[in-house]
Amino acid sequence: MSDIEKINKLLATGSGELALKQAKRLASRTKTPIVLDLLARAYQSQGDSTRALATFDRIAAIAPRHVKPLADKAHYLQTLGRRDEAEPVLRRALKLETESGSLLRLLSISSKLTATDPDVVRVRAAWDQGRLPPEQKIEAGYALFAALGADGLPYLSEGNAEQKRAAPSTFAERYREMAFLRSAYDARPWPTPKRQTNATPLFITGMPRSGTTLVEQILASHSTVKGTGETGLPVRAAFSVLQQGTRFRHLSKLNPDEYSLIGQRYVDGMAQIHKATGTYTDKSITTYLVAGILKDLIPNAKMIYVRRDPRDIGWSIWRNHFKVGTHRYANDQRDIARQIKAVTEMVSYWRAQDPDMFIEVSYEALVRDPGREIPALLAACDLPMEEACLHPERNTRSVQTLSIEQVRQPISPKSIGGWRAYADHLAPMIETLKALDVPWD
């Protein structure tokens, strides 16, 4: 394995501190764009924004005709809430690649685009005249909708269709996985855990676009809470012990050491990879899959479930771009509805085991009356009230989700009912939600 491959692997597995040491060593010998890109990402992993941004600038100076260092720098600025700095960087990149759908989508995240914006006009013309390749249409569709509103719906639909062709839905497979998991959990009795921890993870789970990022930002604004984002560790730790091919070992078949290993791997991973001990958030939204066993294994854990009108969730998923290959249901309106139903079923399953399993947060109630709901949330998490939690938009921590722009704004109810203006366009999703008896407020 080459040095570059080793550093990439370290970054992918969350070993950023070691990756940074090795990237610095490699960069002292050679300063190619590839090596400097590794160095910049290693600095990012350690929260060193000054050095990360400076390294992106070094790459751009070495490779002035390449858009990647500009796009990477701009996106990083967006995650830091520095939207005004990101826009000129992206405009510069769009001068190099004038018909880039991916660059235009990045620009649309933090800049208000219009139909007459020169970059929008160029990308739209490239699409209409057949010059835009499928991989660029995927992201351009979202950007053109953001700029054109209702007139952009055909582009949005085609962008979703292109992404579905590139990464077909695996919903049926994921739904079977949930059924196998429930079968594994139903095998009683569960082993008695042999190891315990004083860690207090605040797990935040729910559907994408339900408000989980806002809830994490509120909690991470507390002086005693460390925000860690979407770590992926809850499911990885559990599946590392439970998964056998496409099935799962029944919990009753595990011995206490094996069962306890799930909790230990999670807590150790958080400490080693994310430097998280004590009280910290974990916004791994698929934690609903393993909620009951984590609550059993980590006595101090809090499990927060964020719910929102499923029509607003579905609309937000449909109009936002997820990385190709992730959330594969997101490019089919009926599959979006089916996924919402599947998640609510899993949450209901755990509630049946323990009615107090979740601290439930209504997105609508939270944004309508934060002065009431935030203190209640903190109290449920055994945290004293702090004024900073009422103003999560002031938190400067890096946010890596699609909500990077929304969480920089004061809490507002303005997105409630956003689906209504596009109800006709969303008919397949709404009809499927009704057929599946998915409730909405």
| Cα(261)–Cα(194) distance, integer angstroms | 9
pLDDT score for 402: 59
Asked whether residue 161 carries a pLDDT value surpassing 70, the answer given is yes
pLDDT score for 330: 97
pLDDT tens digits along 369-379? 999 999 999 99
In a domain, 43, yes or no: no
In a domain, 146, yes or no: no
In a domain, 114, yes or no: no
Number of domains in the chain: 1
Asked whether residue 400 carries a pLDDT value surpassing 80, the answer given is no
Average pLDDT over residues 225-249: 94
Task: Grade residue 72 by pLDDT with cuts at 50, 70 and 90.
Answer: very high
Is the distance from CB of 415 to CB of 364 less than 8 angstroms?
no
| Cα(406)–Cα(224) distance, integer angstroms | 24
What is the extent of the structural domain holding 316? 171-435
Average pLDDT over residues 30-52: 95
In a domain, 81, yes or no: no
What CATH code is carried by the domain that includes residue 223? 3.40.50.300
| Poorest-pLDDT segment among 10-14, 66-70, 302-306, 418-422 | 10-14
- Of residues 323, 316, 195, the one with CA closest to residue 263: 195
In a domain, 356, yes or no: yes
Is the distance from CB of 439 to CB of 394 less than 8 angstroms?
no
Is the distance from CB of 77 to CB of 86 less than 8 angstroms?
yes
Half-sphere exposure of 254 (CA within 13 A, CB side): 28
Which range has the top average pLDDT, 267-276, 393-402, 403-412? 267-276
In a domain, 265, yes or no: yes
pTM of the model: 0.93
In a domain, 74, yes or no: no
In a domain, 147, yes or no: no
